């Protein structure tokens, strides 16, 4: 069964950093696109970043320069380093495979608050 | 960036009703359109890709149509498990990949 499982979210102060993880099973992260998508009640679903099978990476303008996507093929895991966090980065962060997005993980909550 | 606009933002319907949701792209996207269903506390689930192709395992009461800028998701006979929020997404080859704001299908 193909599956993605996120972890690493939590409560963090403005300006802080976290590393979110997306562990894959049933397929290799080296063979597909893996994206991060976040969801807030106010802004709905927002694509954040993608790492292609080639290793190329892209970011939404809202996170460019603050977030970094990477992967560890040996661990079959994709990461999202989130830095210089702001209150409006508070969201449920999902990872998702392929395009269009399938499968999705269950999400990990990031709350930015002092 | 391509903007995606869904309508209506919510719809009240009864079991057995036919429900239609529309999605408009701010510029032409060919058939690069996907539809997702999301239930409370769950991740979105892919229903339709390439505007009209049914994802494996999705019931045939769901269908999609359209191309260019105007797209439609139709549920032919609403079932109790279909009460959820539906999102469209433009899925052209190059990011950013944008979503509509969602349509909540509620029980009448």
Tell me, what's the pLDDT at A42?
76
Q: Which residues contact A56 (CB under 8 A, 6 or more apart)?
A: none
Nearest Cβ partner for B95 among A50, A96, A105: A50
Half-sphere exposure of B73 (CA within 13 A, CB side): 30
B43-84, pLDDT tens digit by residue? 999 999 999 999 999 999 999 999 999 999 999 999 999 999
Which of B95, B98, B100, B103 to mutate to probe the A interface, most A CBs <10 Å? B95
A38-48, pLDDT tens digit by residue? 999 777 899 99
pLDDT grade for A18, boundaries at 50, 70 and 90: very high
Question: Of B9, B19, B3, which is closest to residue B104 (Cα–Cα)?
Answer: B9
B17-49, pLDDT tens digit by residue? 999 999 999 999 999 999 999 999 999 999 999
Tell me, what's the pLDDT at B37?
98
Tell me, what's the pLDDT at B104?
97
Q: How far is CA B1 from CA A67, A83, B90, B102, in A?
A: 19, 24, 11, 18
Cβ separation A107–B45 shorter than 8 A: no
What the block records as the tokens of A79 is 């990461």
Q: How far apart are CA B14 and CA B80, in angstroms?
A: 9
Helices (runs of H) and strands (runs of E) counted in chain B? 0, 10
Establish if B49 touches chain A: CB-CB under 8 angstroms: yes
Residues of chain A neighbouring B43 (CB-CB closer than 8 A):
94, 96, 104-107
Q: How far is CA A71 from CA A48, A64, A67, B29, B89, in A?
A: 16, 18, 14, 30, 25
């Amino acid at each position: 069964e193909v599956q993605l499982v996120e972890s690493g979210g939590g409560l963090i102060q403005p300006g802080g950093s976290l590393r979110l993880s997306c562990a894959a099973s049933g397929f290799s992260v080296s063979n597909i696109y893996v994206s991060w998508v976040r969801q807030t009640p106010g802004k709905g679903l927002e694509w954040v970043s993608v790492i292609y099978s080639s290793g190329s990476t892209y970011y939404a303008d809202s996170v460019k320069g603050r977030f970094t996507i990477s992967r560890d093929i040996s661990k079959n895991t994709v990461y999202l380093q989130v830095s210089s966090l702001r209150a409006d980065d508070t969201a449920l962060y999902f990872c998702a495979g392929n395009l269009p997005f399938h499968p999705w993980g269950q999400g990990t909550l990031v709350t930015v608050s002092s | 960036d391509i903007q995606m606009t869904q309508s209506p933002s919510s719809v009240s319907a009864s079991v057995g009703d036919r429900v239609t949701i529309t999605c408009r792209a701010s510029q032409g996207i060919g058939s690069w359109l996907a539809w997702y269903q999301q239930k409370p506390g769950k991740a979105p689930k892919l229903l339709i890709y390439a505007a009209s192709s049914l994802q494996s395992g999705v019931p045939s009461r769901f269908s999609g149509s359209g191309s260019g800028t105007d797209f439609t998701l139709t549920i032919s006979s609403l079932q109790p498990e279909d009460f959820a929020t539906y999102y469209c997404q433009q899925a052209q080859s190059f990011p950013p990949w944008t979503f509509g704001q969602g349509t909540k299908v509620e029980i009448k």
